[in-house]
Structure 1
C-alpha cells in the first residue's frame, strides 16, 4: 500500500476569514480526496467549526464523537457514517477518552457532474449540492446493514491510496453507487422551503460569528460586540448561539481562545503569560482558570503531557493525513 508523503499536524482546521476550510481537496483534474484523521485522547476537540463546498462522507473507524452539523447534533460510534452536505457548518467533540480515528471522503460537484445537464445531474447530483434533497446525517450500523455504505467507503479509501491502474474510474463508480443506495432514505425538501431559507440565514449568521471571533479573539470582546456584529440583541444572540453551537457566546469565544492557546503550547516554547496575552485573556490567572474549566488540568500540566506523549513516539496533536499526494 502506498505510504502518505505528506503529514499535516495541526489542532483544528485551517480556515479562511469567513471560516471556509482552505485545505485543498484533490486537484483540478481530480476534484476529490480522502483524509485520515487521528485524534489522541489528550485532545478534547475532534473538529473545529468550519465549512467547505465539497460533499463530505465521514466514517468513524475508532472511538465515538458528538457531531454538530448545521443545527443538528448526532452521536457517532465506530462503524458509522456521517453525511455532511456542502457549505454547511460542522464540528465535533469527543465523548470518551479513547483515541479517535476517522476517514473523510470529500467530493466536489465538478467531480460528479456531467458535461451536459442530463437527467442524472438534474435528478440526483444537483439536489445534493443545492440541498433540495435531504439525507440522514447519520448512517447507523443498523441502517448500514441494508445500505452497505461503510464497506463502499472503505473500498474508495483503499483504491484512492493504492492508486492502481484505473483507480479513478473505480472511485467514481463507488461514489455513484453510494448515491444510488442513499436514494432509499432521501427526502425532498421542496415542501420545507421556508424552513430551509431560515436555516440558510442562520448558517450565514453563524459563519459571521465564527469569522468575527477568528479575527478578533486576541482582543477584548464583549457579548454586546458579538451580538452587534450580526445585528441581534444580546438576549436573542445568546439563544441563537446556544441553538447553533450548544454554547453560550462567551463559552464559545473562550473555547476558540483555548484552542489557539493549545496550538501555541504544542508548537512553540512561549511562556504561559505570553500565550495568555496573545489569545485575549486579561491575565494568566484567568487563562489558567478557563483552561481548567475546559480540560480539567492546568496549561502547564497539559504542555508537560504533550511532551511526554511526543517522547513516547505518540501523536501529541491532531493529525490529518491526505492518503496520497498529487
Structure 2
C-alpha cells in the first residue's frame, strides 16, 4: 500500500447504521495506519460522530478543535494529543476560524497483541484496549513536557510515510514506547470502573440514536419518536442528549441535516429548495434559519463562496485520510 500524503474527498457512506466507521485502517497483515486531515477555515465540521475498533492517538499540528469523546467534552489546541480508546463514540467541531491540521494514528489490538496471553498483554495491552484502566483523553502541552509523546507520534508518522527498510518493526517499537509512557498517567479504581460501565451503556444508546437519525433525517421526526428509539421519556431523553452531545435532540437532528445539506451543496448542482426538502426541512425559510445558525451564512451565500473559491478550497472534513 502506498503511504504518501493524500486527501480523501467527501464520502457519504462512511459509517454503518450503528455509526461504526467503515473505512479500513491498515491491512490484515499490518493492522495500523496513519491519517492526515486538513480542514479549511470555511468548514465547521471537523470529525463526524463515529466509533471504531482501533485505538486512536490524534495529534493536532494547527488550529483549535472542540472534541467530544464518550461523555467528555474538551478543547484541543496545536501541540496537544487526544487518546480515543476502542469503541468510544467521538466527534469534533472547530474552535475559531483558523485552518485545522491534525494526524491520527490508529492501532488495532491484533497489531500489538501476543500469540500467548503473556504478562505484557495482561498488564498493559488489554487494559488499554479494553478500557480496564483510566487514561487521560487529553494530553496537554504541559503534560507532554514530561512524556514527550508528541515527538514520538510525529516519528511514527514520518517512519510510516517514508517506509525505510524494516519500518514495520520501528513503527511497532515506537508504539510500544508510547504505551509505556501512557502507563505513567494511567489510573485504576472501582469508582472509575463503575463510571465506565455506565458510560458504555450510554454510548450504546447514543450509537443507536445516531443510526436512527442517519436513516431517517429526511423524514419528519418528532421528539417523541426520537425518545421511543431508546425507550426514554421525552424529558429524560432531552437530558440524555444534552449530556452525550451537548445539544438538544432537535438541535442534534438539525445539525445532522445541515451537514448532509452542505455535502449536497458542495457536490451537486441541486437547487437549494430541493436540498432543503431532501434533508427534512419543511420549508426554505426554516432551512435558511437553521443553516445560518450553524454556519453563519445563508445557504445561497455559502454556495456562492464555495464556487468563488473552488480552486483554492479543499472541502475535506476529517474522513480519515491515509498517508
Instruction: Report the TM-score when normalising by structure 1.
Output: 0.95
Distance, in Å, in 2 between the alignment partners of 1:264 and 1:46 is 17
Cα offset, 1:195, TM superposition = 2.0
Two-structure CA RMSD over aligned residues (Å): 1.6
SS at match of 1:215: helix
Q: What whole-Å deviation, never above 9, does each CA across 1:262-297 have from its counterpart, x for those lacking one?
A: 000010000011111110111111111110111111
Pairs within 5 Å for 1:153-302: 153-302=153-302
Instruction: State the alpha-carbon separation in 2 of the partners of residues 197 and 60 from structure 1.
Output: 29
2:58 match: secondary structure = strand
Output one character per residue of 1:109-155: Cα deviation in whole Å (capped at 9) or x when no partner.
00010011000100000111110011101111111010000000000
Would the aligned equivalents of 2:80 and 2:141 in 1 still touch at CA under 8 Å?
A: yes
> Is 1:96 matched up with 2:101?
no
| Further displaced range: 282-291 or 167-176 | 282-291
Q: 1:100 to 1:160 in 2, by over 3 A?
A: same
2:18 — aligned with what? 18
Could you tell me how far apart the structure 1 residues matched to 2:286 and 2:61 are?
A: 38
- Aligned-pair distance for 1:196? 2.0
- Give the Cα separation in 2 of the matches to 1:218 and 1:308: 29
Matching residue of 1:317: 316
Q: CA deviation at 1:309?
A: 2.0
> Is the 8 Å Cα contact of residues 58 and 81 (structure 2) preserved in structure 1?
yes
Aligned counterparts of 1:318 and 1:196: Cα–Cα separation in 2: 29
2:144 corresponds to 1:151? no
Aligned to 1:129: 129
Q: Is the 8 A contact 2:8 2:316 kept in 1?
A: no
2:70–2:90 CA contact under 8 A, matched in 1? yes
Deviations 1:75-134 (A, max 9, x none): 101000000111001111111000000000000000010011000100000111110011
> What is the alpha-carbon distance in structure 2 between the residues aligned to residue 50 and residue 305 of structure 1?
29
CA distance in 1, matches of 2:322, 2:270: 33
Distance 1:192 1:7, change over 3 A: closer
Does structure 1 conserve the Cα–Cα contact (< 8 Å) formed by 2:9 and 2:315? no
Deviations 1:171-204 (A, max 9, x none): 0000000000111100124443332221111111
User: CA 1:161/1:97 → structure 2, altered by over 3 Å: closer, same or farther?
Assistant: same
Are 1:11 and 1:317, in contact at CA under 8 Å, matched by a contact in 2?
no
Separation in structure 2 between the aligned mates of residue 150 and residue 213 of structure 1, nearest angstrom: 36
Match of 1:105 in 2: 105
Deviation for aligned residue 1:319: 5.7
Alpha-carbon distance in 1 for matches of 2:4, 2:164: 15
Secondary structure of 2:310's aligned partner: helix
Equivalents in 2 of 1:8, 1:320: separation in Å?
7
Match status 1:62 vs 2:62? yes
Contact 1:13 1:50 in 2 (8 A): no
> Aligned pair count?
322
SS at match of 1:262: helix
Which 10-residue stretch deviates more, 97-106 or 194-203? 194-203
How far apart, CA to CA, are the structure 1 residues paired with 2:272 and 2:253? 19
Asked if 2 retains the 8 angstrom alpha-carbon contact of 1:7 and 1:322, the reply is yes
- Distance in 1 (CA, whole Å) between partners of 2:259 and 2:300 is 15
Change (3 A) 1:230 1:323: closer
Structure 1 residue 14 displacement after superposition:
1.1
